[in-house]
Each structure stands twice: as C-alpha cells, then as structure tokens.
Amino acid sequence: MIITEPGDPVDRILSYEARNRLASVRGAIVVVDDESGVLTHELSQLVGPERVRRFHDSLLAEREATRYLHERAADLEPATALDAGLLAGAGLVVMRLPKSLAALDETAAAVAAYAAPDVTLLAGGRTRHMTHSMNDVLRRHFGSVAGSLGRQKCRVLFAERPAGGGVAGPERAEHPDLGLTLCAYGGVFGGTSVDLGSRLMLGQFDQLPRTARLAVDLGCGTGVLAVALTRVLPEVTVLAVDESRLAIRSTEATVAANDCGDRVRARLADGLEGVEDGSVNVIVCNPPFHRGTAKDTATAYAMIDDAGRCLRPGGELWTVYNAHLPYLRALRRAVGPTKVLVQDPRYVVSRSVRQA
C-alpha cells in the first residue's frame, strides 16, 4: 500500500522513519501531539486503526486532529493522559519535539516507564530548533540515543532501550515574597518560577474590586494568578481555564499546595467556552504570543473577544502583555475603556472595564 506522505516536513520525516521500522514493531503505535491528524491517519492506514493510539496535550490540536480523522472515517478516540493506559504495550512512539526541554523530559519519562521494553521513541523537529540538550534529556531515560540524517531541514532523534524508573510528580517551589507555593509539570509556561509579567500584574492586585464574586484566570498555566486572586478578594470563586492538559494538572497541583481548592476550579477548555455571557466580575489574563516555536497573537485576540462577551457590565479585564504588542485598540473595542496601570521596558499591565 502506498500512502501519500504528510505535507508538513516534520510529519514527512517522522512518517519516513516510522515506516522503516513498522515491520519490526510489535504492539501498539502511539502518536503524541500530532497537530493535524495527518500522521496518525497515515500510520493507522498502514497498520490498522486498532494498533494506533493518540494523545494531545493541546485541546485545540486534539480537536483539529479529530476533525481530520473523522472526515476520513478514522475515528480514533484520543487518550486524555500520557500514562500507562496510553503507553502500555507500545512498541513505537512517534512525537514532534516540543519547544521545552521539560516537556520532552515529561514525555520521555512516561514512555520509558510505561511502554514495552523494546519500544523505540521517534522525536522529530526542524533542525534549527534542535539542540544537543535534547539528546541529553533523552539519555536520562534511554540507553541508546541517535539522530537521523536531515531531510528538508528536519531530523529525527531515535531513543531505545528504556531505563524504566518512575514518573516524577510536578516540580515545586516556594515563593515567600508572594506567599504561595507554585507547582509545574514539564513544559508549562514559566515552570515553577513566576514570570516577570505576572509579577508586574500581581503588584497591582490591591486595585482589584473587592466585592468580586466570580473571577476567571484565562490561560491559567501554573495557576499563580488564580491562587493570588483568592488571597486578595475575600468573597471570590475562581475558574481557571487553559487548553493545555499539563497546565490544568499544574494548576490543580498549585491550588492543592496552597489549600484553596474550595475556591478555585480548574477546567480544560478553549478560552471561555461554556461560560455564560455577562456573568463574570473579573478576568485576569497573561495571553501567549507564541504557538510552539512560531509567533502567533491570534490566540490573544480571541481571548480578548471572549472576555468582552463574558464580563458583566462594570466587570474588569486585567491583561499583561509584552510592551511592543498593539493590544490596546483591541481591548477598547472588545471590552471598553482601557487604562494602563503600570508599564516597564518589557511589559504592560492594563485594566479594561466592560460598559453596560
């Protein structure tokens, strides 16, 4: 059977290297973080859908892949966790190299702990984004790590002979100056540090409306803003939302470490889907301006529009963003009057008030 190669060059080289190994692979084939569904579909056509499993950290990537597979009558249900249920008996795991070394470490540890003893991990990426540190991360969990020849400026790392061992829980760090403990699973923005933009915003939290009852941490990451809201708003309940499963797990761990689980609820979601129009008093947001390794502000603009829909009249959207990004016009259009609360050479913190 001849299968049309995927259009993305990283997918193409992963497809090529995977096909070269299929004859010797026993057990399941697991595809991790397939952004389009193309690679998953091709492998399912080659070996049969019953042998292919998939997992996406990103809810948006999962939905895009599901749409692609459904259109081709290949309804492979995604797994919801990178765990033994997904990886048990897997002889081949295929993934794109993540931007973060911590995310790579998280995946490699899970594969080494849960997959078959003869598993091969194929991790592909664009050569310009690959570093020797990626090999070092894989060597923590596998006895053999090698690299492919390049194709269309992309390469694949092969990891074999898993060392086993356990899968670590989230990293944890105390921040006495902020009065909180921060927990993070691999690859979540900021890790266990508090990024400078969030610190700048936290310094303004004494200006939040004290009577707020419902707040949202939109794009919650590790949950630092969600926990901080409970410290300064005595009556508030916080909904923390993110489209990354690792972010939600990190937020849940941070909330538990700070004993505020009765006031913060974390939810995997695309923005504010499911939140009623005009229902929220305060939204805080540190929006991303990258998607993977590429700059992309579309998500931030969608978050701003979503906030305008969900805020009550008089409700406030607090946003922190890089000073060079032109968000003020969008904030005023989608929400209402917007004031810069504080600005330094790198970041702006603004407050937008929803009009009646």
DSSP assignments along 298-322, one per residue: HHHHHHHHHHHHHEEEEEEEEEEEE
Does residue 38 fall inside a structural domain?
Answer: yes
Q: Are residues 258 and 109 in the same domain?
A: no
Q: Answer yes or no: do 100 and 242 share one domain.
A: no
Domain final residue, candidates 136, 162, 188: 162
Is the pLDDT assigned to residue 303 strictly greater than 70? yes
Q: Which residue has the higher pLDDT, 196 or 288?
A: 196
133 and 193, same structural domain? no
pLDDT in tens, 41-63: 999 999 999 999 999 999 999 99
Asked whether residue 192 falls in the same domain as residue 131, the answer is no
Residue 291 has pLDDT above 90, yes or no: no
At residue 101, the pLDDT reads 94
pLDDT of residue 3: 46
- The tokens of 332 are what? 């005023």
Please report the DSSP string for 162-214 in residue order: E--------EEEEETTTTEEEEE-TT-TTTTS--HHHHHHHTTGGGS-TT--E
User: Which of 117, 165, 171, 172 lies closest to 144 in space, CA to CA?
Assistant: 117
Query: Is the predicted pLDDT of residue 1 greater than 50, yes or no?
Result: no
Last residue of a domain, one of 92, 127, 162: 162
Let me know whether 207 and 340 are in one domain.
Answer: yes
Which residues, other chains included, contact 94 with Cβ-Cβ below 8 Å and sequence gap of 6+? 14, 18, 29, 30, 31, 32, 39, 43, 122, 124
Question: What percent of the chain shows pLDDT beyond 70?
Answer: 96
- Could you tell me the end-to-end alpha-carbon distance of the chain, in angstroms, rounded to an integer? 62
The CATH code of the domain that includes 122 is 3.40.50.150
163-189 residue pLDDT tens: 987 788 899 999 999 999 999 998 898
Q: State mean pLDDT over 17-40.
A: 95
**End of a domain among 162, 197, 230?**
162
Tens digits of residue pLDDT in 61-72: 999 999 999 999
Could you tell me if 191 and 336 lie in one domain? yes
> 258 and 138 in one domain?
no
Query: 310 lies in a domain?
Result: yes
Count of structural domains, the chain: 2
User: What is the average per-residue pLDDT within 26-32?
Assistant: 96
Segments forming the whole domain that contains residue 178: 171-353
Residues 151, 37 share a domain: yes
Which residues are CB-contacts of 141 (< 8 A; sequence separation ≥ 6)? 105, 108, 109, 111, 112, 159, 162, 163, 165
Average pLDDT over residues 297-320: 94
State whether 213 and 114 are in the same domain.
Answer: no
Q: What is the pLDDT of residue 2?
A: 40
Same domain, 82 and 179: no
Inside any domain, residue 338: yes
Flag whether 245 is in a domain.
Answer: yes
What count of other Cβ atoms lies within 10 Å of the Cβ of residue 231?
A: 15
Structural domain contains residue 4? no
The model carries a pTM of: 0.92
180 and 136 co-located in one domain: no
Q: Residue 215 falls within a domain, yes or no?
A: yes
Rounded to 10 degrees, the C-alpha dihedral 253/208/179/101 comes to: 50
Report yes or no on 1 lying in a domain: no
pLDDT of residue 6: 56
Task: Confirm if 93 and 119 have CB atoms less than 8 A apart.
Answer: yes
Structural domain includes residue 2 = no
pLDDT tens across 108-137, in order? 999 999 999 999 999 999 999 999 999 999
Confidence category of residue 89, pLDDT binned at 50, 70, 90: very high
